Amino acid sequence: MFVLPQHIGKVERNKTNKRREDRVHASTFMAICAVTGMDINMELLEVKGLTKRYKEFLLDDVTFSLPKGYIMGYVGQNGAGKTTTINCINQICNADGGTVYVNGRRYKENPIGYKEEIGFIGDESYFPKEMKISDVRSVQKTFYKSFQEGAFNEMVSRFQLPEKRRISEFSRGMKVKLMFAVALSRDTKLLILDEATNGLDPVIRSEVLKILQDYISDGERSILFSTHMLEDLEQIADYIVFIDQGKIIINEAKDDLLESYILIKGDKAELTPELRSRLIGIEKKEFGFEALIKSDEARYVPKGFVINNPSIDKIMIHLIRNRMEER
Amino acid sequence: MKALKFLKVDWIRCKSQLKIMILFPVVAVVLAFRGMDNELFAITYMVFGAIVFAIQPFTMEQMSESGFINMLPGTKSDRVTGRYLFAFILILLSVLLGLGATVVYDMKHGISLEPALTVSCIFFGGAMVICSLQYILFYSLGKGKSNQMMAIIRIIPAFIMFFAGNYVLNWLKSGETAKLNWILDRTAELSALCVLVGFFVFFVGISISGRIIEHKDFA
Q: What is the ipTM of this complex?
A: 0.84
| Order of all β-strands in the sheet with A306-308 | A280-285, A288-294, A261-266, A306-308
- The three-state (H, E, C) secondary structure of A252-309, written as one string: EEHHHHHHHEEEEEECHHHCCHHHHHHCEEEEEECCEEEEEEEHHHHHHCCCCCEEEC
Distance from the Cα of B144 to chain A's closest Cα (Å) equals 15
Strands A97-102 and A105-106: antiparallel
Query: In a mutagenesis test of the A interface, which of B1, B12, B14, B56 is the best target, namely the one with the most A β-carbons within 10 Å?
Result: B12
Q: Pick from B5, B13, B66: which is nearest to A142 by CB? A: B5
* Record: fold of A260-326: Alpha-Beta Plaits (3.30.70)
- Of the ranges A25-34, A72-81, B111-120, which one carries the lowest mean pLDDT score? A25-34
Pairing of strands A118-121, A71-75: unpaired
What mean pLDDT is predicted for residues A167-171? 92
Q: Pick the more confident residue, B193 or B141.
A: B193
For the cut 50, the answer to whether the pLDDT of residue A12 exceeds it is no
Domain of B52 in residue numbering reads as 2-214
Tell me, which fold does domain A5-257 have in CATH? Rossmann fold (3.40.50)
Distance CA A257, CA A235 (A): 14
Contacts of residue B79 in chain A, CB cutoff 8 Å?
Answer: none
The answer to whether residue B127 scores a pLDDT higher than 80 is: yes
Task: With CA atoms as reference, report the closest residue to A306 among A288, A282, A321.
Answer: A288
Give SS3 for B89: helix
Residues of A at the B interface, defined by Cβ within 8 angstroms: 87, 90-94, 111-113, 115-116, 118, 120, 122, 124-131, 135, 138-139, 142-144
Report CA torsion sign: B1, B7, B11, B12. positive
Q: Which of A182-196, A204-218, A226-240, A259-273 has the highest mean pLDDT?
A: A182-196
Average pLDDT, stretch B53-80?
Answer: 89
Which one, of B89, B25, B4, B30, lies nearest residue B54 by Cα?
B89
Q: B71 and A90: CB-CB below 8 Å? A: yes
Closest CA to A81 of A61, A99, A100, A98: A61
A176-A178-A182-A183 Cα dihedral, nearest 10 degrees: 20
Set of chain B residues whose Cβ sits within 8 Å of the Cβ of A188: none
Task: Say yes or no for a CB contact (<8 Å) between B218 and A120.
Answer: no
Q: Which of A13-17, A237-241, B44-48, B182-186 has the lowest mean pLDDT?
A: A13-17
In a domain, B219, yes or no: no
Q: How far apart are CA A81 and CA A59, in angstroms?
A: 6
Q: Taking all residues of chain A, what is their mean pLDDT, rounded to a whole number?
A: 85
Q: With 60 as the cut, is the pLDDT of residue A2 above it?
A: no
pLDDT one-digit tens code per residue, A46-67? 999 999 999 889 999 999 999 9
Amino acid code (one letter) for A30: M
- State whether residue B38 is helix, strand or coil: coil
Q: Which of A146-150, B18-22, B140-144 has the highest mean pLDDT?
A: A146-150
The domains spanning A5-257 and A260-326 adopt the same CATH topology: no
A104: nearest Cα among A44, A48, A47, A49: A44
Q: How far is A165 from chain B (nearest CA, A)?
A: 14
Distance CA A55, CA A72 (A): 29
Calculate what percentage of chain A has a pLDDT beyond 70.
87
Query: What pLDDT, on a 0 to 100 scale, did the predictor assign at position A238?
Result: 94
Q: Given A92, A111, A139, which is nearest B67 (Cβ)?
A: A92
Task: Give strand pairing partners of A45.
Answer: A66, A102
Rounded Cα distance, A181 and B81, in Å? 29
Total structural domains within chain B: 1
Q: Are B119 and B169 in contact (CB under 8 A)?
A: yes
Residue type, B73: P
Task: Give the pLDDT confidence of A80-119 residue by residue, as tens digits.
Answer: 999 999 999 999 999 999 999 999 999 999 999 999 999 9
Is B13 within 8 Å of A131 when comparing Cβ atoms? yes
Query: What is the rounded distance in angstroms from the CA atom of residue A13 to the CA atom of residue B167?
Result: 78
Q: Which residues of chain A lie closer than 8 angstroms to B16, CB-CB? A: 130
Nearest to B64 among A93, A126, A139 (CB): A126
**Strand order across the beta sheet in which A43-54 lies:** A57-67, A43-54, A97-102, A105-106
CB contact under 8 A, B215 and A94: yes
C-alpha span between B62 and B210 (Å, rounded):
19
State the Cα–Cα distance between residues B190 and B172, nearest whole angstrom: 15
Query: What whole-number distance in Å separates Cα of residue A253 and Cα of residue A271?
Result: 31
Dist CA B15 CA A29 (whole Å): 54
Residues of B in contact with A94 (CB under 8 A): 215-217
SS (H, E, C) A212-260: HHHHCCCCCCEEEEECCCHHHHHHHCCEEEEEECCEEEEEEEHHHHHHH
Residue range A237-290, pLDDT digits in tens: 999 999 999 999 999 999 999 999 999 998 888 888 888 888 998 888 777 889
Q: Which residue of B has its CA nearest to A193?
A: B67
Note whether residue B12 is domain-resident: yes
Residue B8: list chain A partners with CB under 8 A.
Answer: 138-139, 142
Q: Is residue B107 in some structural domain?
A: yes
The domain spans of chain A are: 5-257, 260-326
Give chain A positions within 8 Å (CB) of B69. Answer: 126, 128
- Measured between beta carbons, the chain A residues lying within 8 angstroms of B64 are 122, 124-126
> A247 - beta bridge partners?
A244
Test A124 with B64 for CB contact under 8 angstroms: yes
Which among A285, A257, A183 has a CA at the least distance from the CA of A224?
A183
Q: Check CB contact under 8 Å for A90 and B12.
A: no
